[in-house]
Amino acid sequence: MSSILSGAVIAVGLVSSIWSVVLFARARRASNVMLLVLLGLELLLLIQLVIGIVRVAGGERPEETATFLSYAASLLLLLPAGVFWSAADKSRTSVLVIFIACFAVVVMTARMFQIWSTVGG
């Protein structure tokens, strides 16, 4: 797993989390720009999954390979689910669902990086 890619995912996830809290404080909904940022984050997560699968298939296996791969696959579902839920809910708090999804991406990516650090160790 690439530390640069993980760092990029964590950074974009944190910025998106903070952005969604600001939107909540200002009683706004997610804008098209935010949705494009989330799409970019989703693409980073897809790249991360592909790299992880290729490296595991190539013989590099962390101690918790099943956990690593399930985290990587689950991450792809979090953002679309959060955005869909936020779009369907017309209340002021709907943008907080995006916050939860983005923050979960950050935490799970950090955990994946921790799991990957056991490769070759």
pLDDT at 8 over 90: yes
Position 57 scores a pLDDT of 92
User: Domain residues of the chain, as ranges?
Assistant: 3-116
- Express each pLDDT in 33-45 by its tens digit: 999 999 999 999 9
3-state secondary structure of 39: helix
User: Per residue in 47-98, pLDDT tens?
Assistant: 999 999 999 999 888 889 999 999 999 999 999 999 999 989 878 788 999 9
* Contact partners, residue 70, CB within 8 Å, separation at least 6: none
For residue 45, how many other CB atoms are within 10 A of its CB?
25
Q: What is the pTM of this model?
A: 0.90
pLDDT of residue 42: 96
